[in-house]
Amino acid sequence: MIKILLPLTVLILATQLFGKTPLKVIAIHSYSAGSWVSNSKEGLERTFEKSKYQAYIHHITYDYLALKTKKKRDARQVEILNLINNQPVDLIVIFDDEASDALMPHLQKSDIPVVLTGINNDLEKTVWYAQAKLNNKVDGVLERYPFEQSLKLIKKIVPNLTKISVLTSGNSSSKIIAGQFKAKFTKYNDQYSGIKLNKITISSSWANWKQTIKSSSSRDHALWILVPWNVNDSKGKEVSLQKIGDFYRANSKSPALGIVDINSQMGFLASFYVSPDDLASQAAHKGLSLLKAKENKASHRFEVVRTARLNINEERARQLGLKIPMKYLELGNVNNIIPMKYER
């Protein structure tokens, strides 16, 4: 297996049948470089490598966080659309809500198959789904988190736990996820598995994060930290995940749940999380199905991500004086140490 990295393009050489022309795949990422994006790329590339197709994958960054004004967003949309329109493209894969919302009103008018992945928003609330559901060349993977399983897990680890507070940054995806968690709690009258919802904090202010972390520092009060990216200090600079993790471990005795894989490295106790690798792989399979459908006219439907992963931080459990039930140790990916350095 050989990989050749070219500017903005990853050339994947895989077994090819019938001498078909290599596929040209455009992958559009909502965010700039970081662990989420790098794992998304890996999942997409690996899945095409294992398929029967040879594919050129051209990665493009939409960079939602850098586009502070409508003028900048519109200009970036035009740049990406021009890039797509000025070359032959067999498949487009879009990662996460921000780029999907920006580009789908334009892309769904074309004949190019499109797969969206990492979609947090409810489909009926998007600006594009009403038209997309009529188009059998558009498909997607919804990013949803194991709510009930997470609360059952932490209750098993911390039997005396009575309340939980939710903390997340203030970016677009964070607000969507927090809204879904609030709706889940409301469905259960703000209490599940003997754990009552205490407070939901949606903020990108590091000062607010520090205050929330300090205020929940007891064993009967857990933190559910959803999205730790895009938390900024008083000068507007993003606070590193290492700094957030260090502050949490030093200032809180509360167990913390997470929803992304980086959480255990920050010192959170456990995470039932959705992997960007899995979201990308499932999207790639859907893309291949769309390409095959050119011949058989098969219809397609959006579906929830099929895989959730369990990550348990055994070192943090020891620090808090907690014991992890054996059945979870057998199921989960157990971290015995807390790394001192990790990606954004």
Q: Is pLDDT of 342 > 60?
A: no
Per DSSP, the three-state class of 73 is: helix
| Residue-range domain boundaries for the chain | 3-144+276-304, 147-273+308-335
Q: Tell me the C-alpha distance between 135 and 246, whole Å.
A: 48
Burial class (CB in 10 A: 0-12, 13-18, 19+), 93: buried
Q: Tell me the C-alpha distance between 22 and 11, whole Å.
A: 10
| pLDDT given at position 294 | 62
Identify the H or E element spanning 329: helix 326-331
pLDDT tens by residue, 49-76? 999 888 999 999 999 989 989 999 999 9
Q: What angle do CA 143, 39, 176 make, to 5 degrees?
A: 25
CB atoms within 10 A of CB 230: 19
Residue appearing with tokens 């929803």: 259
Q: Tell me the C-alpha distance between 5 and 12, whole Å.
A: 9
Lowest mean pLDDT among 38-47, 93-102, 118-127, 325-334: 325-334
At 256, the amino acid letter reads: A
Superfamily designation of domain 147-273+308-335: Response regulator (3.40.50.2300)
Where does the pLDDT of residue 295 fall: very low under 50, low under 70, confident under 90, or very high at 90 and above? low
Identify the H or E element spanning 195: strand 195-202
pTM: 0.85
**DSSP letter string over 14-45?**
---STTPPPEEEEEEESS-SSHHHHHHHHHHH
Intrachain domains 3-144+276-304 and 147-273+308-335 with the same fold: yes
Q: Provide the 8-state DSSP code for 261.
A: G
| pLDDT given at position 264 | 75
CB atoms within 10 A of CB 12: 24
Q: Tell me the C-alpha distance between 227 and 72, whole Å.
A: 25
Superfamily designation of domain 3-144+276-304: Response regulator (3.40.50.2300)
Average pLDDT over residues 16-30: 77
**DSSP letter string over 50-72?**
HSS--EEEEEEE--GGG--SHHH
Q: Is pLDDT of 199 > 50?
A: yes
Q: Is pLDDT of 265 > 60?
A: yes
Q: Provide the 8-state DSSP code for 86.
A: T
Where does the pLDDT of residue 335 fall: very low under 50, low under 70, confident under 90, or very high at 90 and above? low
Where does the pLDDT of residue 299 fall: very low under 50, low under 70, confident under 90, or very high at 90 and above? low
Give the distance from CA 35 to its chain's centroid.
Answer: 10
| pLDDT given at position 328 | 74
